[in-house]
Amino acid sequence: MLSLVGGSQRSLRTVFLLALVVLLLVGLLHVHVELFLPQIRAEVEGPPVTNIMFLKTHKTASSTVLNILYRFAEMHNLSVALPQGPDFHLGFPWLFVARYVEGALQAGPHPRPPRQFNIMCNHLRFNLPEVQKVMPKDTFYFSILRHPVAHLESSFTYFKDAAPAFRAARSLDAFLETPHRFYNASAGLRNAYARNGMWFDLGFDSDAPAEDVYVRARLAEVERRFQLVLIAEHFDESMVLLRRRLRWRLDDVVAFRLNARGQRSVARLSPPAQERALRWSALDWRLYLHFNRTFWARVHAELGPRRLSAEVERLRARRRELQALCLPPGALRSGASIADPQLRPYQSGAADILGYVLRPGLDNATLRLCQRMVTPEVQYMARLYSLQFPEKPPKKIPFLEH
């Protein structure tokens, strides 16, 4: 009897000591509790989201996001709110109205509400009441932002000939030294690219004073409408979170970088010039700071560091596989040198916009997949327009007709 009691006590001591060792190891090594739990899927269960409004802000990696949305729409036979007639934007830089969408206003003897679409993603200046006329009530709204210094540098290069404020300035440094020498608010919408461009795209006044009460009210307005705001500097992390919110497959959000500039047309601003850029685009700076914080708060709340890292690596690994499948060595090159007009990107201002050539000898199915991933936005939009409105004249792309 005594031996049985002693054996039980020794067993209890052994179990206690083992449990204590495990707890100490967990504490010392900072082992995450997820290691001891069943793995939770990164995806949220349910059908994929198909009603989507993407506010395509300028010079923020938005062309790559547009390609993702166009591919998804084409693969799933979804309707896209496309610019009417020969246009390529949805009325930008004017505030959006429903009549800018091809087929939105339905003809007939009696007034009828505008037709609604699954996806809206072309450039427009946001105007919620008009957007709601052509998008369903359950639409998922999202957008993307970029650090204002990089955003302004890219805008200066790309819109050098389009914005009056940029034309006479020999460089962005020179512009930022005395911006009001070049920038005249009376030029109105023609200078939309020259100051607080992302703030302008959201439908706000880009010349408004960056007063705290005004800025906070506008930020709250964006928070109420947009379920997600992505960050261009963290594009892969953004795609992981977007995929989770939309309940899409991994391949749906894998993309090659589009509308990027060659290094020879990228300028590096000095630290003093960067400070001047942030003061000049103070509204964009407040916008970016706020939504950079909210983005990372959402990432950590919904995924956590370990799962985020794993999902980002999955995304990058799949991108590498598709690059090896679709692209030969040296596939990314100056857009002007690309012979295939359907793959040649539009060149703007002083920017050298890069494009892709495809690996030769691809079978038909693989060729279609790869073509979709590297088709520039103008050509892709024109193709979708012809598919969606075969009874209308196809869009003419002037820079491909020379």
The model's pLDDT over 162-194, given as tens digits with 9 standing for 90+, comes to 999 999 899 999 999 999 999 998 888 999 999
pLDDT, mean of residues 252-262: 94
Instruction: Report the distance separating Cα 223 and Cα 388, nearest Å.
Output: 33
pTM: 0.87
pLDDT, mean of residues 112-116: 89
Angle between helices 235-246 and 305-326 (to 10 degrees): 100
pLDDT, mean of residues 91-101: 97
pLDDT over threshold 90, residue 41: no
Q: How far is CA 69 from CA 80, 86, 119, 253, 282, in A?
A: 9, 21, 8, 9, 31
Check if the beta carbon of residue 272 is closer than 8 Å to that of residue 177.
no
Determine the pLDDT at residue 112.
Answer: 81
Interacting residues of 261 by C-beta distance below 8 A, sequence separation 6+: 154, 157, 158, 351, 352, 353, 354
Q: What percent of the chain has pLDDT over 90?
A: 78
Give per-residue burial for 175-189: e unless 16+ CB within 10 Å, then b. bbeebeebbeeeeee
Domains of the chain by start residue, with CATH: 52-327+380-387 (3.40.50)
Alpha helices in 327-376 (DSSP H): 364-374
Q: How far is CA 334 from CA 28, 90, 299, 349, 360, in A?
A: 53, 28, 35, 14, 19
User: Angle 300-226-316 (CA atoms, 0-180°, nearest 5)?
Assistant: 50
As beta bridge partners, residue 339 has none
pLDDT bin (cut points 50, 70, 90) of residue 209 is very high
